[in-house]
Amino acid sequence: MDCIFCKIVHKEIPLENIAYEDDDVVVFKDHKPSAPVHYLSVPKEHIQSIMHLEENHKAIISKIIFAAKKVAKDLELKGYKLVFNVGREGGQVIDHLHLHLLGGWTKQEEIDHLPN
Ligand code: AMP
Ligand code: ZN
């Protein structure tokens, strides 16, 4: 399967900006940031999208949220947005599930504007 995020999480493509990694999850910097701080929390298992979740994926969804929370804490973010784009009509471009961690804004009008 030709999936760019599978290649990234399995290190077939070199990646410098890894903020967190364990056996199940990688959190890395988005290469076209939509916010001053923009990371993607990605399961190593290929799951297409939230629409494709099954009962046995409950643990991995929890893990990508906790990984994003840890990175946000390490970066000392005082607030942030966690976003899933779901399906083409939901703005999803990469068909490997990922949680956007967005933050680092300083002005209210930037905070109110949800990227993507
Ligand atoms: P989505 O629209 O939710 O599918 O978001 C996909 C995100 O992945 C976008 O914000 C892209 O900028 C980001 N992205 C795509 N390819 C890469 C890559 N090779 N490295 C880092 N981020 C990427
Ligand atoms: Zn994949």
Each residue's pLDDT tens digit, 41-98: 999 999 999 999 999 999 999 999 999 999 999 999 999 999 999 999 999 999 999 9
pLDDT of residue 77: 96
Measure 50 CA to ligand 2 centroid, in angstroms: 13
Each residue's pLDDT tens digit, 10-50: 999 988 899 999 999 999 999 999 999 999 999 999 999 99
Helix (H, G, I), strand (E, B) or coil at 114: coil
Q: Could you tell me the pTM of the whole model?
A: 0.95
Distance of alpha carbon 89 from its chain centroid, rounded?
18
Q: Which residue range forms the structural domain that includes residue 64?
A: 4-112
- The CATH number that applies at residue 65 is 3.30.428.10
In this prediction, residue 115 has a pLDDT band, given cuts at 50, 70 and 90, of low
Ligand 1 nearest-atom number relative to CA 34? 10
Give per-residue burial for 61-74: e unless 16+ CB within 10 Å, then b.
bebbeebbbbbbee
Going by alpha carbons, the residue nearest to atom 16 of ligand 1 is: 31
Please give the tally of structural domains in the chain: 1
CA distances from 104 to 34, 73, 107 (A): 11, 12, 10
